[in-house]
Structure 1
């Protein structure tokens, strides 16, 4: 699949775009799942942030009986070390990099791009962002884990060591245990990455308080109103 085949929802700002947020959805969802949050973020009308919500390719997911659904990679086991299918992760990484390159070709430098995601999408935002050889504005990973379990990904790039990385998780998450998210945070922190962690009283979802925090974070890492 080429990037031209990767369908997405794009929400343009009311002024000329000078920044971009690429937001990756979770298993079985689509870009439509998170697109409605843009007005909820209350960023105003003067920002130049383009939001892109791509749809993951459809594929069979082992833990769901081989049912065909949108997924960034197959999940063959609920065990953290075996949860993310490596080949699928790498394939989706290439699609996401192509999306980033597309935005660069449209005039948005990588330094003004945030890679964000929830659950499976958060796994992909972390994996891709940590290995990317280009500077990003920020990496946001919600309710997720590292695909390599208790190790940082191979091929780690140091380009984004100072890039703000935002990790959120629900303390009542019964899909991705909060310990998995906290493990990712501690590994990144231990390697000197600029990582911020916050846990919320929620399950595997997002809550209004969290969206307010995300809004403030986006405004701090992107050329907001400039």
Structure 2
């Protein structure tokens, strides 16, 4: 769990630094920072998804089915609505002057949790005691937290809780999950994660509102597919 604890600490520290910087930034600089993050997230999501899909080893049909089924399940459960309600509750407690808490919480949580580094790093941390992937992820998440918090506000800091629960859960269950998480499974999950990151970028750029959190169940379809397919 050490790797996850470091990751959580990096998110919290980066968020606090970002909030401090936020108070000294004019609104126009906050806006340009948000656009910069949006563009970077769009590029990362596109390159991640296309890198896997164009490798010749992925299964495009599985990618489409996973997004479709996952989106329907997420809509039925109302994942996006529930996450936003949680963010709105935090907003009421903190006040409007702390920025867009709900958007910051949901955006940061998705960015930090949907990538393959979170899965692979947590498994290696649990099985081998090798925290190197999570340490590298911690640096990336810490820097991202500074930028996100400086533009969106304190809500980013609360994403440390999903990171702790998600990565910590995978680490603790790593011996059980390891036989299920082969190279093909990680590749397909990474493809879906890439498109979800791309959707986050669309939201940040105000191009169109996508209920990205509702697609989270899509990440579970590839492991189930390969389990059934043997």
TM-score by length of 1: 0.29
Higher RCO (CA-CA < 8 Å; seq separation 6+): 2
Greater fraction of residues in helix: 2
Greater fraction of residues in strand: 1
Bigger CA radius of gyration: 2
TM-score by length of 2: 0.29
